[in-house]
A and B are shown apart, each in its own frame.
Chain A
Amino acid sequence: MTSTWLTWPRPPLGATPREPVVAKAAAQRISFSGPQARALWQPRLDRLRDVAIAIELEMVRREHIPATVLWTGYDGIEALTERARAIGLEAKPVKASLGYAADWTQEAWIDEPKRLLDYAFLIGAAALDVAMADPAAEDVVKTAIRFGYPACCAESWANHLRRGGSDSLASLLAREDNAAMPAHTALGVLGLGPVRHAPCSAGCVATRDRSRAFLDLGRQLGFIEEMSWLEEIACWTVNASLVNGIAEITTAAFRCTWLSDEGPSQPRPAAPAPRPEKRKAAAITAAGSADILAELGIGFESAGFASPFAMRSRFSAVVWEQTAALRRATTAVHVGCGDGLLLQLLAQTKPKLKLYGTEEDTALAEAARQRLGASSPVLAGASIEALAALSRLVPGGIDIAFVDPERLGDRDALVAISAIARSIIVIGTDRSLHRFRDMDNLAATMGLALLPGRAARVSATLSPAMDRLH
């Protein structure tokens, strides 16, 4: 990154010692909009900054302006003075200002405090009068004009300085609609040219003429490609804003920001950033807590769970564990289906599954019908009768039956299920897992044979060798 910086704008400068801050800070605080933008524009911006210094020095050499101010770190001082001398100019130090500490080591602080500063040099023809850049000089307007300001801009900048201002973009933003800010005016802060003075307005015609002169001189000096980049930048749409003293410029390629001394107490609303249209989700239907609890699941105590949350979580885990088995199935039944929650979760996971439920408790059976709709029959009555009805309803049998063996009561029911279901999956409820610790124990205690290696955490598949049950 460049170690020498053009001051922004040209003298006369504000009284506060912030001159290097704005240009350097804005350049260091560039954040590109993506890798491609960075790959293209980072080297271009670095190059443009160097070229702007060369053009500016040439303007001094040709006496278009009496001098310019360049900032450099301690290590750049020698090269800078040498560079000035090589083209017959003199470099005089005018002030120093604290730079930034973020990447300094503590040793640097202690050993070489001089490296913490940035140094300003006035560069001009020999016998320089350093007071020429001073804002307190008698005739600020005249000084500004000598430094290349058109008369209109010299007047407005002098007024701004008299009010204690120092930041040229801030002064413009405080007066103008940021939407109309030309790119060269907004990005002048980066020290790239072609705008080098503080313009009086975004649409200032005289400023446009001075920019053209800068571009012409650049081309004369052989910076053809670089000047074409500046022409390209001129067509950019930029959004510049100053909010609570923080300036931000956004372009398609990057954004940059700096803290201005101005504007903290007179915030100017920034134009809202263009926002991609957001896809609307379905409107919210807000049911109260009673409805929500019903939707979460009722009858959890009789189903063997400590709470509706436990029942929902467990049934979700059962469905998740049995993903592979469900993939092959086309029909399933939940024996003792309660309010139909497990069946609903199954339907959500595999909508094509034909589902059946049986439930002795008439209120729960009704709740299940409500939850599931007409396409999933819920058969009422004691398990045995309901299962007999189910076998008449589905004579070809059912692929999977989900059961809580504790709730079945006697083995006859399990025998009846095995007669219609090709596969039986037992579910561990809070009650049974509390009592038996895990699915293996549960099965062993109840005399059930599991498919080898198929005991999962909260559900398990019974062995198809169900002969023992008959």
Chain B
Amino acid sequence: MTVEVRPLGDKCNIKCRYCYQEGIRTAGNVPTRYDLDAIMATLDRLAEPFSLFGGEIMMTRRPDLERLMQLGFDRHGGVGMQTNGTLIEERDIELFRKYRVRIGISIDGPGPLNDARWAGSLPATRRATARIEAAIETLCREGMPPNVIVTLNRINASPDRLAVLCDWIGFLGSLGVRKLRLHLLEQDETEGGEGLALTAQENLVALRRLRQLEQELSSVEFDIFAEMAAMLRGDDARTSCVFHACDPYATRAVVGVESDGRLGNCGRTNKDGVTHLRASREAFERQLSLYRTPQSDDGCQDCRFFLACKGNCPGTAIGGDWRKRSIDCPVWFGLFEDIETELQANGETVISRSERRADLEAKMIAAWSIGDNPTLHSLLQPAEAT
């Protein structure tokens, strides 16, 4: 479970053109104050490592931010933080070091390649980008290289810009950045015709090129590819939420601790500007339905990667309706196929081609039907033992 602490909800200092939280802000649903004691009490109760999240977490008052960092350090030996990096200042570097803050910075590329992360005007956008680039270099020089989160879009990964993006990632590797997380642009949020989203084919081309790049650059790792390979091996202990049968009513993999300490859902499924609270029970209607619904009706029936992919993130579902499979299905399918081929060529067993697939699927469906969500790993264990 990932616990995301969000004292200021979706409040942010920039306005990325594609941000999935934009609907919430437009609807005016951002908290104006927060109750730090309530947040800390909830974190105490959860007793799980947590990440500081937003909106933009660095808009939080520094003394309050420091208390949260200290809590993470005291209880869990450190704390994660995801930020757009524009508000990091010199004095923060010491805080990060003192409380072992593991920083994730979102940036889509250098200078003009980051223009989709709009800050109101072009000069303001470029100024914000320069601050992010400065923060990454500074953190690397301080021996705290951040993880970098890149969202692929037309401005940074269209066919004629992909090479530049790859060279920049090579540069990040030379600076000391080790891990990158790749996101696909949420297509439904850009319906205003801004044209930021790549087509599924372009996304696939970009991801295939980046996978190749990962093999060329020994020092840089994109976690998505390793996770997909792990899922195909049936090793889902450490893979991220998108592969774990997410229930948009109670996103178990991601729990938000909101401004008043209450538990919230991951915001990626909020398409109507409302941050719904968690339902009292987690359930798997989406996966059960996708499994039995033909692909022509936006389901996943007969897809051999279903156990690994499960229709992917409901926040990316076709038409913004969580009941349908991910709009990025062609991308996932294509990548799963690539990785499957390679794993098989290396003599590895993959669940998508395993003769046990039908049996595993039946077990998973049976478990979901009664509200349980076992790991693939646990389903594979007993049979392997016999």
Contact = CB atoms under 8 A, between A and B. Distances in A.
A286 B174 contact: no
Contacts of B130: 312, 315-316, 319-320, 345, 348-349
B281 A293 contact: no
A306 interface: yes
Interface of A: 1, 25, 28-35, 38, 98-103, 243-246, 248, 250, 254-259, 264-265, 267, 270, 272-284, 286-289, 292-293, 295-296, 306-310, 312-317, 319-321, 323, 345, 347-349, 351, 457-458
Contact of B273 (A255, A265, A276, A348): A276
B249 interface: yes
Interface in B117-138: 118, 122-124, 126-127, 130-131, 133-138
Contacts of B27: 276
B189 interface: yes
A350 to B, nearest CB: 9
B194 A283 contact: yes
B262 A320 contact: no
B22 A284 contact: no
Contacts of A30: 279-280
Interface stretch (B62-70, B317-325, B346-354): B317-325
A264 B138 contact: no
21 contacts: A25-B283, A28-B281, A29-B280, A30-B280, A100-B283, A102-B372, A244-B289, A244-B323, A264-B293, A267-B298, A270-B321, A276-B272, A279-B22, A286-B155, A286-B160, A286-B161, A287-B112, A292-B161, A295-B112, A319-B130, A345-B130
Contacts of B382: none
A259 B288 contact: yes
Nearest to A269: B319
Nearest to A250: B272
A99 B371 CA distance: 9
Given A29-B281, A246-B289, A292-B164, A348 B112 contact: no
Sort A-B residue pairs by CB-CB distance and give the 5 closest, nearest first.
A320-B134, A102-B371, A309-B171, A100-B371, A316-B130
Contact of B135 (A284, A306, A320, A347): A320
A322 to B, nearest CB: 10
A312 B116 CA distance: 18
A99 B250 CA distance: 18
B175 interface: yes
Nearest to A267: B297
Given A244-B298, A289-B164, A276 B26 contact: yes
Contacts of A313: 110, 133-134, 136-137, 171, 175
Contacts of B292: 245, 264
Contacts of A295: 111-112
B244 interface: no
B277 A29 contact: no
B324 A244 contact: yes
Contact of A102 (B161, B174, B265, B282): B282
Interface of B: 15, 17, 22-23, 26-27, 29, 89-90, 110-113, 115-116, 118, 122-124, 126-127, 130-131, 133-138, 141-142, 154-155, 158, 160-161, 163-164, 167-168, 171, 174-175, 189, 191-192, 194-196, 249-250, 260, 262, 265, 271-283, 285-286, 288-290, 292-294, 297-299, 319-321, 323-324, 367, 370-372
A461 B90 CA distance: 16
A232 to B, nearest CB: 20
A43 to B, nearest CB: 14
Contacts of A310: 171, 174
A243 B281 contact: no
Contact of A296 (B110, B194, B288): B110
Given A267-B297, A316-B133, A317-B134, A35 B277 contact: yes
A32 B276 contact: yes
Contacts of A282: 118, 122
Contacts of A319: 130, 134
B324 A29 contact: no
Contact of B194 (A256, A274, A281, A457): A281
Contacts of A246: 285-286, 289, 323
A284 B110 contact: no
Contacts of B275: 33-34
Contact of B171 (A99, A100, A273, A307): A307
B137 A245 contact: no
A315 to B, nearest CB: 8
B127 A348 contact: yes
A314 B279 contact: no
Contacts of A258: 285
A273 B270 CA distance: 10
B133 A317 contact: yes
B379 to A, nearest CB: 15
A353 to B, nearest CB: 13
Given A246-B286, A272-B319, A101 B277 contact: no
B324 A243 contact: yes
Contacts of B319: 272
B79 to A, nearest CB: 23
Nearest to A315: B130
A148 to B, nearest CB: 30
